[in-house]
């Protein structure tokens, strides 16, 4: 396994990184808000999105599809445990699909841990 794959797996342990990667892989863009103010809007740059999420204890993200349709919202508390960094999110099909994928990811992690 190469270093980038290992790094991505470690980063994905934090729920917000898993969510961002999952959404970007679906060709979505993400806006990050701190104190209700946009820090970055409709970005597809994982590193920039991550940087702005990690710049505050609490951030919100909004996920848009390729047609700029709002697909989901999430509240991120950076210092929570890895699985709990996404502490609230939209109750809709898109975010429920992510939750299922995240659960599968953590189940796989438990098998190798």
Tell me the CB-side half-sphere exposure of residue 37, using CA atoms within 13 A: 3
In the chain, how many domains are there?
1
Name the token pair of 80: 């929570």
Do residues 46 and 67 touch, judged by C-beta distance below 8 A? no
Closest CA relative to residue 30, chosen from 58, 88, 21, 15: 21
Q: What is the pLDDT of residue 1?
A: 62
39: pLDDT strictly greater than 90: yes
| 55-102 pLDDT, tens digit each | 999 999 999 999 999 999 999 998 888 788 999 999 999 999 999 999
CA distance 13 to 105: 9
- Most confidently modeled range among 5-9, 34-38, 83-87: 34-38
Task: State what percent of residues in the chain have pLDDT above 70.
Answer: 91
Q: Which domain holds residue 20?
A: 3-112
């Amino acid at each position: 396994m190469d270093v980038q794959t290992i790094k991505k797996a470690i980063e994905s342990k934090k729920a917000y990184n898993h969510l961002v990667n999952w959404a970007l892989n679906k060709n979505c863009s993400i806006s990050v808000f701190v104190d209700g103010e946009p820090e970055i809007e409709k970005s597809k740059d994982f590193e920039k999105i991550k940087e702005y999420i990690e710049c505050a204890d609490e951030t919100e993200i909004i996920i848009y599809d390729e047609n700029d349709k709002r697909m989901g919202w999430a509240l991120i508390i950076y210092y929570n445990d890895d699985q709990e960094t996404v502490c609230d999110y939209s109750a809709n099909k898109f975010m429920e699909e992510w939750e299922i994928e995240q659960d599968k990811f953590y189940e796989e992690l438990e098998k190798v841990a």
